[in-house]
Structure 1
Amino acid sequence: MKKGRRKRWICSPKTGKRDNKFYVSPNYEIVFFSSEIYRVVNILDFFNAKVELSKVIEDLEKFKIENKHTGTDLNLVFKTFENQMAFIKRQAGDEGFKAHRHALILFTDGAYNMGGSPEPTVARIKNAVYMNHTVENHVGTRDDFLDIYIFAIGSDIFDDDLQPLTVGTGGNHYFRMSKIVELKETFDLIIDESEVVGMCGLHRDYETTEDKESKRKRYPWLAFIVNTGRKGKTCIGSLVSPDFVLTAAHCFTFGDLPADIVVEIEDGLGSKVKTVKSFTLHPLYNITAKVKEGVAEFYDYDLAIIRLEEPVRISEFVRPICIPCTQETSDALNLVGESTCKQQEQVLLKSYREQLGFLTRKHPLVAEKIVHAKLGENRDLCIKKALSAPGITTKNERVAVTDNFLCTGGRVGYRDHIACTGDSGGAVFKNFNQRTIQIGVVSWGTQALCSSTGGLVESNDESRDFHINLFRMIDFLSQNLGDDSQDYTALKFLKNGA
């Protein structure tokens, strides 16, 4: 989709799995077809505001091929599109219709075998969009107002029949693949990354090969942090904008300088080592604050922000993760209007055992640990295990674990993974419609169950991990990431934080 331009999408998958990777708000039509048309969404309903995304998804999931008619009448499909476009033109008028851009996307498992050639119908559609220029003398002034894409899936495909039906400029419009599982990768290959640089949390949710490149595409916000100061530490961080990396405050010690901190992000701009301009710890972080209350090391507000000397280049390999209470995250969650932090939290943390993930070092790059945040009454039971941690002598678990923490671990309901040395500072995240939203930061745990740095290790009955809940850190985040008067790309934090 071209930046700043609105296209009208009319989709007609005969077979295929829907892909929600990019959130857009065009009017669209969805039909299944064989020798007849089976309409799921009528584009004309948008004129009466009758279309709800949740209902569309429900109808798609309920649709069954069953004993529908066999055969492939592509001409009928294009005639259906032609009729709908004619109605839109009558509704919008000639001048209004000129502003509409149209994309027809067809998925088929073979060539047409009934209904005659669709080529004359396609020619009429072109003439309608090109404002009655004939194909022969069309001068090209409206080429980018119409795209017809065809995805041919299967082993018995007649390219000579299908390829001439494609229309459009700016790249390939005909795609051939043997299996439907290749469809998602094909979509990713045709997306122009430069057009979606502002979209946080985008990632490839599959791995074509077991190598670093595939891992980076799956977790493009990943950053490795090495503190080379007097108490050297290794941590993980998350890129939250081109200029900033989020991590844990305990990855730093008193006296550390920016020159002591090494941030590694492979963005294709030469060295993966990024120079650190500055770092800021949460002002309320104080590891010795509750020594007299029976907590040897207190990790509340365990949060830090690293500013890079130069912004990283955004690409399919490097892209920021979404963080709470920003407009970018509301867009990722499909929240419309003046959304709030509370609405985001209700979408992301709605279960008493909400599945989340965080990363650990593992060949060839990282592996994902699966955990479940215990909420409500489950949280009360979870945080009691903090009293068994070394260095904690208080009898009140809430002295050590404030409301700023998420609690994971244990084997009740699910057997969670446990955090290892080196996992600190990493994003605790949730995937939502192929967008990744960071909810927490890995902070501390009750037991050291790992034999080495990183690795996939499961929890036992007593082990628990505690993660800083970013929904409780918005003031700090907005002050350091959302100041649009500074010389960095600021995030748009919601005005209504309630």
Structure 2
Amino acid sequence: MLLLLLITHVSVSLAVQCDLTKVAIIGGSYTVSDGGNVGSKVEYQCPKGKYPYPKYTRECQYNGFWTDQKAKTICKDVRCPRPVTFEDGDYEPRQPFYKVGDTLYFECYSGFTMKGPQNRTCQENAKWTGETTICDDNNGYCPNPGIPIGASKSGSSYKMENKVSYNCQQGLVMFGSKERECLEDKSWSGTEPSCRQWYTYDTPKEVAKTFSSSMLENVDTTNLEDRSDRSVRILKDGLMNIFIVLDTSKSVGQNRFDEAKSASILFIEKMSNYDIKPRYCIISYASKAISVVSLRDPDSNNADAVMEHLEEFQYDRHEDKQGTNTRAALHAIYEHLIEQELAYEREGKKEDFMKIHNVILLMTDGKFNMGGDPREEMKLIKRFLDVGIRKDNPREEYLDVYVFGLGSDIDQPEINDLASKKEKEVHTFHLQNVEKMKEFFELMIIEDDVFDTCGLSKYHSVELDPKKKATVMFPWIVKITITHNGIQYCKGTILSQYFILTAAHCFDLDDKTQKIHVKIDGKEYLVKDFYRHPKYDPISKKDKGIKRAFDYDVALLELQRNDKIEFSENARPICIPCTQGTAQALKQPGAPCSSHEKTLLSEEEVKAVFIAEESNKPMKEMHVLIKRGQKRSACLEAAKKAPELKNVTNIEDAVTDQFLCTGGIVPVADPPVCKGDSGGPLLIQVKRRYVQVGIISWGTVDHCDKGTRIKQTQKNARDFYQDIFKVLPWIQKVLEEKHEVLTFLPN
């Protein structure tokens, strides 16, 4: 009888639904998951500058009521925190509250110097623009740490070992350090606190800026200048563990988990652009923790393998998704570290273990509800790594814990307590959802410190300005205009701050540099000189029936020394084979030049792209196949049918091994090249980097009519590109004679 009653109770519970008429919002909209059944969630949305009060979400409970059902939901105006106090200065206007668009104006008293912005404006996410404004008399051992808006400070002496503490005004949540100490190096311990509304979110741009700058403190690329202020430098042979911890609890759901997985893969891809090979450990957790990738795995330092393992991991691996056991996830990290230390000890390298820089990325959409307080497990990890234990050597540079709270149900104090606290760095982030996290990882590619890394673009970004889309997508492309007996349009690519790579056939020998106009990202550059390959001679094969020969179709433009290219997100160098930058892109440090050709051009059909442009249309990426080996014979046969080559006895006199070939309709129809594309690059994409292997030279058919590309590809149409591998010695010779900073590899 008891068993029957239990079954009946369960059946009734499962049939319960919450009343959908009770979830309306005034001034906004909402979505409901699972039709209002038990466990379904209502999520509210409001227009920009407003937020849903009293909560972002409601959940259907077993009693048939929504959480907080009696409270009506309304979209209220976003308000930024108001100043509690401002030391040694004044501000205006003084108001009981500040809404979006309001601006605060600060002024320091006589004898005090202002640090930070004079004006700060309230933003749509309830945060003030800029950093904390401080009035300092420079009389302390440490600088005045300031008082963030919304906070009060205890302690006004800034001598060594003096401490200050902070509290947020009622209703605000603190991110950062509640207490800070003046250290011997004249810096303050911990992270500057911020006082936030419960509905405040970080924008992807804000997170990209702060997270990326923090990560770059510990990551080195081949082209970065030495920085004496780095606490640790992770070089290509350095030691780094990266732990990615994914919340897979019931509230996350299949779709959001897939998004989090996709965002994590994107992060690993971005990290693979740097000249490091960290070991990855990926942990998925719900009621228990599952190691998707372990530190001990032989391929845990292979980014491609790690991404593949993560891609294969499925949400339903967690049979019980009810709980959020964050402590179990952190305990798994602790066990991996113990196992790694033992492995180092067996090899007699225990000291090396303590030199490993550990980075933890924890993503969660809610507070822990089982397994105990995760903050206790974080203390164990810190003690094991000897981080923050000894005052004389806190070793804080060997552990970075970044916590990403996703959505409105997170426990803000909890994620703040778990994250690292470091001077001038931010490790705690609250994003609106996992989609915003993916957007932030997309934005990671644009960093001032890596503008000079070759072959990067922002092609996959979700926030491209349509007016600048082409330059951001293809930041290495150069537009060249030559005035001689009319106007000739060509393309080129940026090799360095002073040199442009293009085609020799774009120029006549007697062209004057003042007639050559170079445009990059809308800016005109002055040409100092141009160099054509000494073996380029268009009339050299007339005796063989070839009206114009294109062998060695390569040229270099040198810009005026007072007019160099300033690298930016819209102007970057391209990668060319046999250089140190390309070795980094191919993940072949120390390999000879010959390995690049084997890697890039090893197949009979190689996927490649060229950049096309038509009249009054933006540049576009065109996908083609480079035909090599036996496949190249079709290019020779098709070339024989070109009218200009009908009198050529041996077609290989025209189509020499100088050229790479695309075109035709087998196995697919390759898009055609047009005259205005001449000098532009033929590119092979390697992850998110592009390596130039060819220069657009000539073709058997004119595919354009008055600047418009003919869509129908002819069966025998073929396009030919100068093979860069064939002219690399000359490019290297010119650049080295001009003392250009482009490092070439030995053969």
| TM norm. shorter chain > 0.5 | yes
**CA distance in structure 2 between the aligned counterparts of 1:13 and 1:111, rounded to whole angstroms:** 15
Structure 1 residue 298 corresponds to structure 2 residue 530: no
Offset at residue 452 of structure 1 (A) = 3.0
The one-letter amino acid paired with 2:288 is E
Q: Which stretch shows the higher mean deviation, 318-327 or 108-117?
A: 108-117
Q: What is the CA–CA distance in structure 2 between the aligned matches of 1:299 and 1:233, rounded to whole Å?
A: 17
1:413 and 2:667 are equivalent in the alignment: yes
- Relative distance call for 1:132 and 1:399 in structure 2 (3 A) is closer
Long gaps (5+) in structure 2: 1-215, 221-232, 247-259
- Higher relative contact order, structure no. (Cα contacts within 8 Å, ≥ 6 residues apart): 1
Equivalent residue of 2:292, what SS?
A: strand
| 1:9 corresponds to 2:236 | no
Q: Is 1:165 aligned to residue 418 of structure 2?
A: yes
- Cα distance, 1:159 vs. partner? 4.1
Matched position secondary structure for 2:675: coil
Asked if 1:320 is matched to 2:570, the reply is no
Task: Tell me if structure 2 keeps the 8 A contact 1:237–1:246.
Answer: yes
Structure 2 residue 397 is the aligned partner of structure 1 residue 147: no
Match of 1:358 among 602, 605, 610: 610
Contact 1:359-1:423 at 8 Å conserved across structures: yes
Q: CA, structure 1 residues 469+104, in 2 after alignment: closer, same or farther (shift >3 Å)?
A: same
How big is the alpha-carbon RMSD for the aligned residues of Structure 1 and Structure 2?
A: 2.9
> Are residues 189 and 50 of structure 1, via their aligned partners in 2, closer, same or farther at CA, if it must alter by over 3 Å?
closer
**Aligned-partner SS, 1:242:** coil
Match of 1:495 in 2: 746
Q: Does 1:229 align with 2:461?
A: no
Aligned-pair CA distance for 1:250:
1.0
The CA distance in 2 between the partners of 1:193 and 1:44, in whole Å, is: 32
Cα displacement (A) at 1:317: 2.0
1:72-471 correspondence to structure 2 within 5 Å:
72-86=324-338, 91=344, 96=352, 99-126=355-382, 129=385, 131-133=387-389, 142-153=395-406, 157-169=410-422, 170-177=424-431, 180-190=434-444, 193-207=447-461, 208-209=463-464, 211-266=466-521, 272-309=523-560, 310-341=563-594, 343-362=595-614, 365-392=618-645, 393-453=647-707, 455=709, 457-471=711-725
The more displaced of 96-105 and 188-197 is 188-197
What letter matches 1:474 in structure 2?
A: L
Letter in 2 for 1:264: K
Deviations 1:343-402 (A, max 9, x none): 222322233222211112255631111111111211111232222334322143212110
| Structure 1 residues 30 and 426: alpha-carbon distance in aligned structure 2, compared to 1, 3 A threshold | same
Aligned to 2:309: 59
Contact 1:279 1:305 in 2 (8 A): yes
Deviations 1:395-429 (A, max 9, x none): 43212110111111111111111011210010100
In structure 2, relative to structure 1, the CA distance for the partners of 1:94 and 1:413 (3 Å cut) is closer
CA distance in 2 between counterparts of 1:238 and 1:40 reads 42
Any conservation in 2 of the 1:367–1:455 contact (CA below 8 Å)?
no
Cα distance between partner residues in 2 of 1:443 and 1:349: 19
2:733 aligned residue: 479
Distance in 1 between residues matched to 2:608 and 2:703, nearest whole Å: 20
Secondary structure in 2 matching 1:422:
helix
Structure 1 distance, partners of 2:504, 2:431, is 48
Amino acid at match of 1:308: L
Bigger CA drift: 142-151 or 465-474? 142-151
2:692 counterpart SS class: strand
Change (3 A) 1:274 1:51: closer
Aligned letter for 2:558? R
Q: Assess, with a 3 A threshold, how the Cα gap between structure 1 residues 73 and 354 changes in structure 2: closer, same or farther.
A: same
Letter in 1 for 2:312: K
* 2:211 corresponding residue in structure 1: none
Is residue 279–residue 301 contact of structure 2 (8 Å, CA) maintained in 1? no
Percent sequence identity over aligned pairs: 31
Report if aligned partners of 1:360, 1:454 keep a CA contact under 8 Å in 2: no
Structure 1 residue 292, shift from structure 2 partner = 1.9
Whole-angstrom distance in 2 between the partners of 1:454 and 1:422: 10
**d(CA) in 2 for partners of 1:437 and 1:192?**
19
Q: Aligned equivalents of 1:425 and 1:16: distance in 2?
A: 40
Alpha-carbon distance in structure 1 between the residues aligned to 2:435 and 2:489: 38
Q: Is the aligned partner of 1:40 residue 2:301?
A: no
Deviation string for 1:203-224 (max 9, x for gaps)? 2231434614333222111111
CA separation of 1:460 and 1:177: change in aligned 2, threshold 3 A = farther
Amino acid at match of 2:364: T
User: Between Structure 1 and Structure 2, whose CA radius of gyration is higher?
Assistant: 2
1:41 CA drift (Å): 2.8
Give the structure 1 partner of residue 22 of structure 2: none
**In 1, Cα distance between equivalents of 2:300 and 2:244:** 20
Q: Using the alignment, how far apart are the partners of 2:502 and 2:552 within structure 1?
A: 11
TM-score by length of 2: 0.60
Residue 231 of structure 1 and its aligned partner are, at CA, apart by: 4.2
- CA–CA distance in 2 between the matches of 1:26 and 1:356? 29
TM-score (norm 1): 0.87
Secondary structure of 2:644 counterpart = coil
Say which SS state the counterpart of residue 556 (structure 2) adopts: strand
Stretch of structure 1 that moved more, 395-404 or 22-31: 22-31
How many residue pairs align between the two structures? 483
Distance 1:54 1:209 in 2: 27
Q: Is the 8 A contact 2:592 2:746 kept in 1?
A: no
| In 1: Cα distance, 2:328 partner to 2:371 partner | 7
Higher mean alpha-carbon deviation, 106-115 vs 82-91, is at: 82-91
How far apart, CA to CA, are the structure 2 residues paired with 1:353 and 1:155?
A: 50
Task: In structure 2, give the amino acid aligned to 1:388.
Answer: K
Structure 2 Cα separation of the partners of residues 154 and 351 of structure 1: 46
User: Which amino acid in 2 is paired with 1:243?
Assistant: Y
Deviation at 1:259, TM superposition (A): 1.6
Instruction: Tell me by how many angstroms 1:456 deviates.
Output: 7.6
- Change beyond 3 A, Cα 1:94–1:387: closer
Distance 1:168 1:278 in 2: 53
CA deviation after TM superposition for structure 1 residue 155, in Å: 6.5
Give the superposition deviation at 1:459: 2.1
**What is the CA-CA distance between 1:478 and the residue it aligns to?**
1.6
User: Taking structure 1 as reference, are residues 166 and 474 closer, same or farther at Cα in structure 2, changes over 3 Å only?
Assistant: same
Q: Distance in 2 between matches of 1:122 and 1:455?
A: 61
Deviation at 1:225, TM superposition (A): 0.8
Contact preservation (8 Å) 1:360, 1:455: no
Amino acid at match of 1:9: N
In 2 relative to 1, CA 86–186 (structure 1 residues): closer, same or farther, beyond 3 Å?
same
TM superposition shift of 1:79: 2.1
Distance 1:230 1:147 in 2: 62
